[in-house]
Amino acid sequence: MKRREFLAATGSAVGFGLVGGMGFAAVGKAQTFDLKLQRCDFRLRKEMTPDLVSLAPNAPPPVLKARQGEQVVLNVKNALEEYTAMHWHGLRIPNDMDGVPYLTQYPIAQGETFRYSFIPPDAGTYWYHPHCMTMTQMARGLTGVLVIQEIEDPGFDTEQVINLRDFRLDDEDHLLPPYSLRRAARAGTLGNVMTANWLIEPVYNHQSGSLVRLRIVNTDTTRIQRVYLEGGMSKSIAWDGHPLRIPMPAPNKNTPLVMGPGQRVDLAIVMPKSEGQSITVFSRLASNDRVMATLVSEGTNLNRSLDELKPLAPNPVVVPDISSAEIHEFVFGWSPAGVAPKDGFCGSLGKTFWSINRVPWAGDAASGIGPLARLDLGKSYILRFRNESPNTHPIHLHGLAFIPLRSNKRKLLANWSDTMLLLKDEIVDVALVADNLGDWAFHCHIIEHQKTGLAGYIQVV
């Protein structure tokens, strides 16, 4: 029996890190986080918004910091009445720590704790979100940033994390339904309140002339962000977690960075030299561009310069051998509206609109569903992504990192990634080495698309 069938069949919390109760001793010198999924109230706009979900009492999900190459333990306790499972987006860790219900673990029930324990091989900007009840729990706020610090200090004075995400609120600042079926069958449902770190236009002070590492993360369920900066000096240094292989200009008003849900960018910035000046992070919109966050200089001038920074050390990702790579093609498109995916305890939108290779995902808890592709451990592959729909899809692969090779529509930069934003009618080739064993979820990161068929998995054997 394959593992996901075993997990689906047993129907109980066996092994795979599930433990009861709480209070854990640190394993060796592992860094340990005790995290509790809980309801929370927070002032996102004017009034209190009740019924949000976080890992902290009445505060946004915390920025978690761990170290490259060092053991980290995350005890995720579920204090909600519904099931959950936590996924660490972008981390190349063992499959059984990947947090995908029925594929890599059984969903975590109310009162249970799942112990996630792994050694992050790569430094950079990653994030976490539930992979069970994904639509509702993410829409209620549960998306947080996971920073993996480099072995060698890259020499910044401070860091600033900007977690971009929308909420859907009514006039009383209560949550609206997170999606509509009509929109799920199209581009997805946008929020109506855009936030950074759960705040509207937050202002952060950093010392004048200091070097700041800005980590911008798009954790939205739907919105494709077009981000740019104004003021100060800046430089892009990492994309989707990994240090750049190919230089990317710092984003400006005319050439914003296009970031699909799930994507990250790291920027090195120098704060303006005199007090009270600012650097503004904008989101480009069809109408008026929106201020997402502002960094304001304070105190005496540290007078640092971008030239003082050495390039970040590359992560230990193996570059694929394209000459020997076998090609696997994946077609992303519509499907006839069909039966609801069988999602077990993990929530369904009740409909199917999307498919990969013309087959809609039968649901997280469906049994007997094979992988979309089977890859041999250690071999190089080209994955060909073919978008047969007029909508944009951020296609995400768990557990592996790939390099974009080419597109029929534009020039791509060959920087490591785990999420490829596919444009309307676009065909993109990406290359990877299948160097991580297991069943790796593969889906659109517009959650409405994921939950209505645009999902599957790739197996590395």
Site residues for ligand C2O per CB under 6 A:
87, 89, 129, 131, 262, 396, 398, 441, 443, 445
Task: Give the residue with the Cβ less far from ligand C2O, 129 or 264.
Answer: 129
398 binds, among ligand C2O, Cu ion, none (CB under 5 to 8 A by kind): ligand C2O
Rule CB under 5 A: say whether 446 interacts with Cu ion: yes
Q: Which of these, 291, 289, 169, 164, lies nearest to 220 by C-alpha position?
A: 164
Residue 449 interacting partner from ligand C2O, Cu ion, none (CB closer than 5 to 8 Å by kind)? Cu ion
Count of Cβ atoms closer than 10 Å to residue 32 Cβ:
16
Distance CA 349, CA 322 (A): 39
Choose from Cu ion, ligand C2O, none: what does 446 bind? Cβ within 5-8 Å by kind: Cu ion
Minimum distance of ligand C2O from residue 334's CB (angstroms): 21
CA-based nearest residue to 145, from 72, 197, 77, 69: 197
Binds 139: which of ligand C2O, Cu ion, none (CB < 5-8 Å by kind): none
Q: Which does 168 bind (CB under 5 to 8 A by kind): ligand C2O, Cu ion, none?
A: none
Kindly write down the DSSP assignment for every residue of 281-329, as one continuous string: EEE--SSS-EEEEEEEEESS-----GGGPPPPPPPSPPPP-GGGPEEEE
We find the least distance from the C-beta atom of residue 262 to Cu ion, in angstroms, to be 11
With CB under 5 to 8 Å by kind, the binding choice for 89 among Cu ion, ligand C2O, none is: ligand C2O
Strand partners, 269: 212, 234
By beta-carbon proximity to ligand C2O, the closer residue of 95 and 208 is 95
Q: How far is the CB of 398 from ligand C2O (least distance, A)?
A: 6
Q: What pairs with residue 241 in β-bridges?
A: none
Here's the x/- map for Cu ion, 377-416, by CB under 5 A: it reads as ----------------x-----------------------
Alpha-helical regions (H) of 174-244: 181-184
Segment near Cu ion (CB under 5 A); pick from 72-80, 295-303, 371-379, 442-450: 442-450
What is d(CA 331, CA 113) in angstroms, rounded to the nearest whole number?
37
By CB under 5 A, residue 447 contacts Cu ion: no
Residue 171 gets which letter from DSSP? T
> 3-class DSSP state for residue 336?
strand
Cβ-closest position to ligand C2O: 89
444 contributes a contact to Cu ion by CB under 5 A: yes
* Residues in contact with 374: Cβ distance below 8 Å, sequence separation at least 6, in sequence order: 458, 459, 460, 461
Closer Cβ to ligand C2O, 257 or 458, answer by number = 458
**Where do the DSSP E strands lie in 188-321?**
193-196, 203-207, 211-218, 225-230, 233-239, 242-243, 257-259, 264-270, 278-283, 290-298
Q: Which amino acid is at 71?
A: Q
CB of 446 to ligand C2O, least distance (A): 11
Helices (H), 27-140: 134-139
- Does position 428 interact with Cu ion (CB under 5 A)? The reply is no
Q: Is 443 in the site for Cu ion (CB under 5 A)?
A: no
Residue 262 binds: one of ligand C2O, Cu ion, none (C-beta under 5 to 8 A by kind): ligand C2O
Indicate the residue among 129 and 213 with the shorter CB distance to ligand C2O.
129
Alpha-carbon distance of 274 to 79, in angstroms, equals 47
CB of 111 to ligand C2O, least distance (A): 25
Taking residues 349 to 368 in sequence order and writing x for each that binds Cu ion by CB under 5 A, - otherwise, the string is: --------------------
CB of 332 to ligand C2O, least distance (A): 15
CA 322 to each of CA 309, 325, 409, 413: distance values in angstroms, whole numbers, following the listed order: 32, 5, 21, 16
Pick from 155, 150, 158: nearest CA to 67: 150
Q: Per the structure block, which two tokens stand in for 263?
A: 């994507």
CB proximity list for 411: less than 8 A, separation 6 or greater: none
Whichever of 242 and 445 has its CB closer to ligand C2O, that residue is 445
Closest CB to ligand C2O among residues 381, 442: 442
For residue 135, state whether it binds Cu ion (rule: CB under 5 A). Answer: no
Task: Note the residues at the interface with Cu ion (CB under 5 A).
Answer: 393, 444, 446, 449
